């Protein structure tokens, strides 16, 4: 096992911090670092190491607050969905037929009259456009498909299993945003901008433009995070991991112990200590 590529510190840095010179606990240390990193990111409600995100947000406001930052690039912002493919079952005796749109593939699942399941995965790496994806669906036993619009398959809206047994179902893509927008990289705030024509002729709107109103109708594909973890955030991870490393020798079911006239209590190791939470407030996202 190795430390996850998104972990907030490394095995080498942890061992230096903890004064460990042997390799006996390397596998354990890797696991602890990963769990400490996960706890910190869960508490902070954001991811820290750079990676790609595909997320939806509610419209209706002048800005959209991205969940992860700093933002390094925005691939696309869209809202409003349009059908790209219609899919239907081609076998009237099937008991169930569903289409699921995942991040990197389409899953076709059908149950025949005997209850036997056949599942087919069509990856976007193999079928990059909805035109090629439509052809692949239509060529799969038990399925019919019609292309409505040719777009990138990766731009299809994610959805759970859509039933197409009795009626055809549509697979959607989100319409690209046709307005200019700005992104505050450090905070992840996306704002619509006044058009250059309005600016040039002084035809200013009475209020700032807003994203169209709707639930989860603003879709953003972007890259965010640090290429290297800031020192003070890594220090917090080291401290959390160090507490977890030493706590493994204690019985977690024992909250307090006493010996003669001496007694002490042990805090739970299942949660981040309060003093650590205070240090993480500056890193916490409330969106």
Q: What is the CA radius of gyration of the chain?
A: 26
Give the side-chain half-sphere CA count within 13 A for 242: 15
pTM (predicted TM-score)? 0.72
Question: Residue 80 has what pLDDT?
Answer: 73
Identify which of 157, 27, 182 has the alpha carbon closest to the alpha carbon of residue 99.
157
Name the DSSP letter for residue 202.
Answer: T
101 neighbors 171 (Cβ within 8 angstroms): yes
Using DSSP, state whether 65 is helix, strand or coil. Answer: strand
Question: Residue 235 has what pLDDT?
Answer: 97
Question: Residue 198 has what pLDDT?
Answer: 46
Provide the 10 A C-beta neighbour count for residue 126. 12
CA dist 157 and 172 (Å) reads 6
CA dihedral 152, 178, 186, 236 (to 10 degrees): -40
CA dihedral 226, 227, 231, 233 (to 10 degrees): 40
Provide the 10 A C-beta neighbour count for residue 140. 16
66 neighbors 185 (Cβ within 8 angstroms): no
Determine phi and psi for 201, rounding to 5 degrees.
-100, 5
78 neighbors 174 (Cβ within 8 angstroms): yes
pLDDT tens-digit profile, the chain (287 residues): 578 999 999 999 999 999 999 999 999 999 999 999 999 999 999 999 999 998 889 988 889 999 999 999 998 888 778 899 999 999 999 999 999 999 899 999 999 999 999 999 999 999 999 999 999 999 999 999 999 999 999 989 888 899 999 899 999 987 777 778 899 999 999 998 765 444 444 455 555 788 888 888 888 989 999 999 999 999 999 999 999 998 877 555 555 555 555 555 555 545 688 889 999 999 999 87
Helices (H) and strands (E) in the chain, counts: 6, 14
Residues sharing a CB contact under 8 Å with residue 143, sequence separation 6 or more, in sequence order: 87, 88, 89, 90, 97, 108, 110, 137
Question: Residue 217 has what pLDDT?
Answer: 82
């Amino acid at each position: 096992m190795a430390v996850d590529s998104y972990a907030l510190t490394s095995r080498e840095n942890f061992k230096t911090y903890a004064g460990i010179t042997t390799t006996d606990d390397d596998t354990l240390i890797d696991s602890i670092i990963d769990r400490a990193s996960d706890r910190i990111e869960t508490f902070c409600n954001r991811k820290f190491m750079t990676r790609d995100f595909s997320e939806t947000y509610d419209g209706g406001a002048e800005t959209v607050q991205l969940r992860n930052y700093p933002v390094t690039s925005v691939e696309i912002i869209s809202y409003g969905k349009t059908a790209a493919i219609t899919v239907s079952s081609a076998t009237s005796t099937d008991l169930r037929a569903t289409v699921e749109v995942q991040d990197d593939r389409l899953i076709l699942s059908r149950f025949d009259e005997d209850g036997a399941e056949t599942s087919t995965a069509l990856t976007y790496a193999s079928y990059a456009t909805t035109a090629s994806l439509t052809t692949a669906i239509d060529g799969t036993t038990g399925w019919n498909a019609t292309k409505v619009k040719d777009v990138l398959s990766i731009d299809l809206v994610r959805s759970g299993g859509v039933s197409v047994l009795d009626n055809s179902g549509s697979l959607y893509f989100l319409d690209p945003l046709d307005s200019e927008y700005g992104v505050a990289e450090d905070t992840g705030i996306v704002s619509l901008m006044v058009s250059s024509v309005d600016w040039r002729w002084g035809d200013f709107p009475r209020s700032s433009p807003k994203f169209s109103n709707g639930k989860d109708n603003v879709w953003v594909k972007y890259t965010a995070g640090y290429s290297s973890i800031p020192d003070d955030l890594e220090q917090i991870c080291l401290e959390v991991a160090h507490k977890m490393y030493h706590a493994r020798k204690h019985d977690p079911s024992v909250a307090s112990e006493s010996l003669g006239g001496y007694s002490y209590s042990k805090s739970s190791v299942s949660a981040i200590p309060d003093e650590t939470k205070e240090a993480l407030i500056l890193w916490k996202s409330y969106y």
